[in-house]
Chains A and B, each alone.
Chain A
Amino acid sequence: AQTVTQSQPEMSVQEAETVTLSCTYDTSESDYYLFWYKQPPSRQMILVIRQEAYKQQNATENRFSVNFQKAAKSFSLKISDSQLGDAAMYFCAYRSGRGSQGNLIFGKGTKLSVKP
């Protein structure tokens, strides 16, 4: 079975600085997708960024980028120029590839605080 591990329960960053959140996963599959979701205090889950395993190029979305290391099974999230609105829980999630049921397997999350 696949597992997702987020080893940092809490992280803190100064406003305008850069922070990296870690995520590792365990799988024997070669076709899969990885996601980062943000959950602010409102508790709405918001998609931040996503990565296809077969793509070597790291995904980027404005200030958010990932470092995807397939061999190491690592999928870290980098937030540049951190803003107060980035404060939230961040969840890393894994989904099997085509033909799967589409279920997501989540890590336990990292709580990010942003200091003004």
Chain B
Amino acid sequence: DGGITQSPKYLFRKEGQNVTLSCEQNLNHDAMYWYRQDPGQGLRLIYYSQIVNDFQKGDIAEGYSVSREKKESFPLTVTSAQKNPTAFYLCASIAFLVGGWTGYTQYFGPGTRLTVL
């Protein structure tokens, strides 16, 4: 089945550790996005990438890093510089270069819950 997968579902991090969240899609989508969700805050954009080997900062990129070495993969690293990383992280993708609604609609993965111990 085509879709977006995120792993792990739950992740625990100790203070000072870097952790990497995985996001993979087999939809042949061009663009991929990372959002952070906090209670009462909606979703906020961390990073996005429209093509391989290129990505841009979103509204809250500080303390995070990404890579896009393959079209289907867009991992997010939460670094020790992120002071309050406990949150729910959602990955999304879009067939950006396709016309019609397929090219305008983001589809989401199931999310990763990150907790700092």
Residues in A lying within 8 Å of B, measured CB to CB: 4, 9, 33, 35, 37, 42-47, 50, 52, 91, 95, 101-104, 106-109
Residues in B lying within 8 Å of A, measured CB to CB: 31, 33, 40-45, 48, 50, 56, 58, 88, 90, 92, 94, 96, 101, 104-108, 110-111
Q: What residues on B are CB-neighbors of A106 within 8 Å?
A: 42-44
Chain A nearest CB from B86 CB (Å) reads 15
Extra contacts besides A9-B40, A35-B105 (8): CB < 8 Å: A33-B104, A44-B110, A45-B108, A101-B31, A101-B50, A103-B33, A103-B45, A104-B45
Q: What residues on A are CB-neighbors of B56 within 8 Å?
A: 101
Contact yes or no, A50 B104, CB < 8 A: yes
If A42-B110, A101-B50 touch, does A91 touch B42 (CB 8 Å cutoff)?
A: yes
Query: In the docked arrangement, what's the CA distance between A104 and B107, Å?
Result: 11
Q: What residues on A are CB-neighbors of B88 within 8 Å?
A: 43
7 nearest interchain CB pairs? A45-B108, A106-B42, A108-B42, A106-B43, A43-B111, A44-B110, A33-B104
Query: In the docked arrangement, what's the CA distance between A52 and B101, Å?
Result: 9
Select which of B40, B96, B108, B110 is within 8 A of A102 by beta carbon. Answer: B96
Contact yes or no, B94 A102, CB < 8 A: yes
Query: In the docked arrangement, what's the CA distance between A46 and B94, Å?
Result: 14
Query: In the docked arrangement, what's the CA distance between A45 and B94, Å?
Result: 14
Query: In the docked arrangement, what's the CA distance between A101 and B58, Å?
Result: 11
Q: What residues on A are CB-neighbors of B44 within 8 Å?
A: 106
Q: What residues on B are CB-neighbors of A45 within 8 Å?
A: 90, 92, 108
Q: What residues on B are CB-neighbors of A50 within 8 Å?
A: 101, 104-105
Select which of A42, A47, A91, A109 is within 8 A of B107 by beta carbon. Answer: A47
Closest to A6 in B: B42
Q: Can you pick out 17 interface pairs between chain A and chain B where the beta carbons lie within 8 Å of each other? A: A33-B104, A35-B105, A42-B110, A44-B110, A45-B92, A46-B108, A47-B105, A101-B31, A101-B50, A102-B31, A102-B50, A102-B94, A104-B43, A106-B44, A107-B42, A108-B42, A109-B42
